[in-house]
Amino acid sequence: MNNEFSLWISSLDCRGQKSEKYLGLIKSVANISNSGFILVAVLELMPPLARMQVQTGCDQSLSKLTQVPSDLPANCTAIDLSKNSIRDLPDKNFSQLIGCRVLDLGENRISVIEIGRLNRLKNLRTLNLQNNQISVIETGALTGLGNLQKLILCNNSITHLPSGVFRPLNQCTQLSLSRNNMSNVENSTFIGLRSLRELYLDHNNISHLPTLVFSSVANCAELYLNNNQISTIDEDAFTGKTNQQTLKLDTLLLNNNRISHLPPNVFRSLNRCRKLYLNSNEISVIASTTFTELHLLQELSLSTNQISSIQPGSFKGLENLQTLWLHNNQLETLDSDFYGLPLETQGWPRTVKLALSDPTSTHDLPWCETLCWLKHYELRRENKLRGKRDYYFPTRRISFVRKDSKLYSLECRNGVVWDNMICSGLLAVYFCGILVSCAAPS
């Protein structure tokens, strides 16, 4: 060990005990010792290390590490080697880190994850490799990481992943592959990830979602596919390995892609999904069966598409829907029962927010006149609930929600209020939604 050691230890955490005296002692010993024997003795006398941060310190004139130090203490449970210039993972330098649980190698210059470089880190829980130059992960490179729970590979140069590359990671719950150059994904890519709960594939160049592509991650709750180039989705892309198996997705992001067509039953296996984002695509038609099985859905975003047609009954069965975004489309009329959207649950009114217009819009909306069906619905409901006025706000139950999030009575452009509104009246456009509320606004 030479005096360079004093340059790359920047912080120590000895499980809550004061570490300044140990850090000062190590640096002073390193400065007077070229053999390393005294330093090793000091490390062995220290309490178990909870964290060691290995950087160049505050002096920017000092060169960054170009390789992983060979003398990392075996009793350290978290090692931070981020923000250096490391290019390769060593053959043996991690072999003594049996108890290491967190390894941060983010913001380096690593380009390849080779076989045998990580296989001795048997107790590792978190591995951060973001912001490197990784383009290749060899098959078998992740062998031995059976206890890994979080793998971060975002912001690299990955274009392709070998079949079964993640097979050893049967305890992994979070996998981030965001912001790479991946153009395709296959079912074999995710084999072995049976515990996965979060999968980030956003900001890549994926263009197609093939059949059964996510069947190996049936327990995944959050799937991020936004900001890709997806133009086609197979009808069975979100189906399990068998027709009876359903995916446990709670949140699915498909926004900011190039989707123009949704197969009629593409979401039939997602009966646990609560949030579905399809905004900023090129969808023109919504089929009546597209959302049939999404009974638990609470948020549905279809804004900023090219939707000109929604088939009758398309929203039937969405009894738990709370927010529906439809603004920035090409709709000219609205269905008389709003495509089957339930506004009551077991006879009781419920709250639904409908975003139908861009709040910055200043032009007349061609479908404004058809909103009179909401007025008729309110009158029918008022008659049905006669005698229960103490529990419900009797008038103006349907109101505009402006950008300031305050409720306003529905008004025509000439100032006529909702109660006296004529069906042919033009509506004001300074709103971003309609609130169908079962209680008086506060």
Q: Give domain limits for the chain.
A: 343-442
Task: Give the pLDDT score at 205.
Answer: 98
**pLDDT score of 352:** 65
CA distance 303 to 420: 31
Q: What is the mean pLDDT of each run of 10 residues along the chain (442 residues)?
A: 37 47 43 35 44 46 74 85 92 83 96 94 96 96 96 97 95 98 93 96 97 94 98 93 78 98 93 96 96 94 92 91 83 75 64 58 45 49 46 36 45 46 35 34 30
Question: What one-letter code names the amino acid at 28?
Answer: S
Contacts with 352 (C-beta within 8 Å, 6 or more apart), sequence order: 321, 322, 323, 324, 341, 343, 435, 436
What gap in Å lies between CA 65 and CA 293, rounded to an integer? 54
pLDDT of res. 287: 94
Residue 50 makes CB contacts below 8 A (sequence gap 6+) with: 13, 14, 15, 16, 76, 77, 78
Rg of the chain over Cα atoms, rounded to whole angstroms, equals 29
Q: How far apart are CA 223 and CA 38, in angstroms?
A: 51
Give me the half-sphere count of Cα atoms (radius 13 Å) on the Cβ side of residue 211: 5
Write the CB contacts of 192 (distance below 8 Å, at least 6 apart in sequence). 164, 166, 167, 168, 169, 170, 216
Do β-strands 232-233 and 136-137 pair in parallel, antiparallel, or remain unpaired? unpaired
Per-residue confidence (pLDDT) for residue 324, from 0 to 100: 84
**Rounded Cα distance, 237 and 193, in Å:** 17
- Residues contacting 367, CB < 8 A, separation 6+: 331, 332, 333, 334
pLDDT at site 314 = 94
Give me the long-range contacts of 260-263 (CB less than 8 A, separation at least 24).
260/231, 260/284, 260/306, 261/232, 261/285, 262/233, 262/286, 262/287, 262/290, 263/233, 263/234, 263/235
Asked if residue 277 lies in contact with residue 254, where contact means CB atoms within 8 angstroms, the answer is yes
In one-letter notation, the amino acid at residue 197 is: R
Distances from the Cα of 267 to the Cαs of 128, 240, 247, 415, in angstroms? 33, 11, 10, 43
Q: What's the pLDDT score for residue 91?
A: 81
pLDDT for res 428: 33
Give dist(CA 206, CA 227) in Å, integer.
9
Q: Do residues 55 and 62 lie in contact, with contact meaning Cβ atoms separated by under 8 Å?
A: no
Report yes or no: 92 and 65 within 8 Å, Cβ to Cβ.
no
Q: What is the DSSP letter of 17?
A: B
**CA dist., res. 52 & res. 141, Å (int):** 25
